[in-house]
């Protein structure tokens, strides 16, 4: 029996929606786009790590001894889907600097819209870690699903996918192929156009991050 897919988490926090609106604007500069993406990645990381387990730990404050909480269990690995995923990765590492990092290089064939892999590098102990996979856009879902196929083949069992924007088609594709993967996004937009771009979207995230548009 196939498990029911996890429903996507859409972040409706006022700060998220304000920054996303500014990110979408065509007039936002490359520097502004990078800054806003980094700020949004911090807010998305906060939500994506909400379910991390903690354990008690005794500490000394300047005034007395107390019992606090610290992270326990598996450690984190952030996996960036190249190249645009690196725009989200930087902000997440600001929040969790001890996390390990992996990269999966994929590009979308413009004729078939299927994902083609050209690079993959994961930490040796990735199977012992919880993974947060990052890519700004979940459009057709083929690239995300292909990346997660490879990550699961390395033994990883707990994966969260984080993106700025998603299309309903991408959510459906990823949920069908990986119903156990939680999707965290700032918005699920109207849909895809004939070229596979999210509408209304924000344009090509990679080009806007790296000034190659």
What residues act catalytically? Answer: 108, 112, 204, 207
Name the one residue in this structure whose structure tokens are 């959510």. Answer: 171
Does the annotation flag 150 for ligand binding?
A: no
Q: Are 38 and 87 in contact (CB under 8 A)?
A: yes
* 83 known member of a binding site: yes
Annotated ligand binding at 205? The verdict is yes
Token pair in block for residue 56: 């008690």
Residue 21 annotated as binding?
A: no
Is 143 known as a binding-site position?
yes
Burial class (CB in 10 A: 0-12, 13-18, 19+), 207: middle
Which two tokens mark 126?
A: 């990735």
Q: Is 63 exposed, middle or buried (0-12, 13-18, 19+ CB in 10 A)?
A: exposed
Task: Tell me whether residue 136 is annotated as binding.
Answer: yes
Task: Judge whether 138 is annotated as a binding position.
Answer: yes
Q: Which residues are annotated as a binding site for 5-phospho-alpha-D-ribose 1-diphosphate?
A: 83, 108, 135-143, 204
Q: Which residues make up each annotated binding site for uracil?
A: 198, 203-205
| Residues placed in the known binding site | 83, 108, 135-143, 198, 203-205
């Amino acid at each position: 029996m196939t498990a029911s897919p996890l429903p996507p988490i859409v972040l409706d926090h006022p700060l998220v929606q304000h920054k996303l609106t500014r990110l979408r604007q065509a007039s936002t500069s490359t520097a502004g786009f990078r800054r806003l993406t980094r700020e949004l990645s911090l807010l998305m990381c906060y939500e994506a790590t909400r379910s991390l387990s903690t354990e008690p730990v005794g500490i000394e404050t300047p005034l007395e001894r107390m019992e606090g909480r610290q992270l326990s269990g598996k450690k984190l690995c952030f996996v960036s889907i190249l190249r645009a995923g690196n725009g989200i990765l930087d902000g997440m590492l600001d929040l969790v600097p001890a996390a390990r990092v992996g990269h999966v290089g994929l590009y979308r064939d413009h004729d078939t819209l299927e994902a083609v892999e050209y690079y993959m590098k994961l930490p040796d102990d990735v199977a012992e870690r919880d993974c947060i996979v990052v890519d700004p856009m979940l459009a057709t879902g083929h690239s995300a699903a292909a990346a997660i196929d490879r990550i699961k083949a390395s033994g990883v069992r707990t994966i969260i996918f984080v993106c700025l924007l998603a299309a309903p088609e991408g959510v459906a594709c990823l949920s069908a192929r990986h119903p156990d993967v939680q999707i965290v996004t700032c918005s699920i937009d109207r849909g895809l156009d004939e070229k596979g771009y999210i509408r209304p979207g924000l344009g090509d995230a990679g080009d806007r991050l790296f000034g190659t548009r």
